[in-house]
Amino acid sequence: MIKLSSFRHAYDGVIVTFKEHPNIRFHMLAGLTATLLSYLLNLNRLEFVIILFTISLVITSEMINTAIESMTDLITLEYRKEAKIAKDVAAGMVLINSLLAVIVAIIVFLPHLLIITSNQTP
């Protein structure tokens, strides 16, 4: 049986991440912008699902990065090579997913934007 407290803990995790980590706010704003653009450009279902999964991947990786950073700080606040590696790899995960999200956005949105701009004659 699913406990309601599990949902509360998950909700708390989202709220803490949003309040205490400015990067997640940037990613959520970018995700909302992409969602709005998807609606305005009238993307087909597959394109929209690709955009949603890409947004989810970036936000999830940012939350994993936050969890790894917090756990690493809990274990040690002094400089340790292993702690630096853990934090750097987690940050690298977010960077790679963010760059791939930009590539996905270009691939999905650009054809729609080119059609709009080519239909407008000066």
Cα separation of 113 and 109, whole Å?
Answer: 6
Cα separation of 37 and 117, whole Å?
Answer: 15
- Of the residues 62, 69, 78, 82, only one is catalytic, namely 62
Q: Is 78 among the residues known to form the active site?
A: no
Catalytic residues: 62
